[in-house]
Amino acid sequence: MTKQQIHTVEEVLKNCLRKKFQNYKPEPASMPFHTRLLGKDRLALYSFIHSLNTNFGTAIFEPVALSLAQKNFKVAQSQMKAGTQISEGAHQVIQEIMDSLATAESTPNKSKEIEAIRKVCRKGKMKQVKPTRVDVWVESNTGEIFLFDIKTAKPNAGGFKEFKRTLLEWVAAVLAEGPKAKVNTIIAIPYNPYEPQPYNRWTMRGMLDLENELKVADEFWDFLGGKGTYNNLLDIFERVGIELRPEIDKYFSRFSTKS
């Protein structure tokens, strides 16, 4: 990581936390037993962390990913539309793929799925669509496109069916505009909550092509920023946390039971 990238990540973190402090209002729910057992300040901290988690992806992970990718890719953008149209033929192929995977008649094979969609990407009537926005869109110097959907560290296993459909629809939308495009659509998990054990991928195996549709922790960050980026990011987060510790303690002191 360059000094400029490190500085950018640090500023993203600081600004995110300070903005959260300014705008955050703890839930007014009364929890008398929890309060007396744990303390008002600890409950406030728990509530704050829970609230922060809900927008960690858009407030922190996306801008950090964008900063890293801008150094190493020709194009790097966030919250982009994959396209506005999908052909009737592509709709049909996507549904056939989904049905086949859901009934375990086939196993995920992203390269074959992409080529099946490519063959019909402009077949039949073109339908206007509003697919889920791409969290991070990058394009290499050779024109290869990578579209990332950033998910929480422990996504609901039942949601992978919809994740898969989104990835396939992105492919169809991109190919509708450029049938020869080399496109990759990927689920990104920012960190591994099971460390030091490997990430628990088995729940996704029947729906995602794990080699080509999933990047976890260092696989994702090192892809965007180069080898060692993931560990560098952890160090940056730690440094910023230490630097802001007085501000954090001061903020939560207002919730002290003694106050």
pLDDT number for residue 115: 97
Q: Cβ of 221: how many Cβ atoms within 10 Å?
A: 25
10 Å CB burial of residue 155 (0-12, 13-18, 19+) is middle
131-174 per-position pLDDT tens digit: 899 999 999 999 999 999 999 777 776 688 899 999 999 999 99
Fold type of domain 72-226: type ii restriction endonuclease, domain 2 (3.40.1560)
pLDDT number for residue 259: 42
Secondary element (H or E) of residue 215: strand 214-216
In the chain, % of residues over pLDDT 70: 95
Torsion 151-230-78-14 (CA) sign: positive
Proportion of the chain in helix, strand, coil states, percent, rounded to 5? 55, 15, 30
Task: Give the integer Cα–Cα distance in Å for 213 and 42.
Answer: 39
If phi > 0 it is left, if psi is from -120 to 50 it is alpha, else beta; for residue 79 that is: left
CA distances, 2 to each of 78, 223, 231, 233 (Å)? 21, 15, 14, 12
The domain locations on the chain are: 1-54+228-259, 72-226
pLDDT of residue 43 exceeding 80: no
pLDDT number for residue 26: 65
pLDDT of residue 218 exceeding 50: yes
Task: Give the integer Cα–Cα distance in Å for 251 and 230.
Answer: 29
62-95 per-position pLDDT tens digit: 999 999 999 899 999 999 999 999 999 999 999 9
172-215 per-position pLDDT tens digit: 999 999 999 999 999 999 999 888 888 877 667 789 999 999 99
pLDDT number for residue 27: 62
Task: Give the integer Cα–Cα distance in Å for 44 and 34.
Answer: 11
Those residues whose C-beta lies under 8 Å from the C-beta of residue 197, and which sit 6 or more positions away, are none
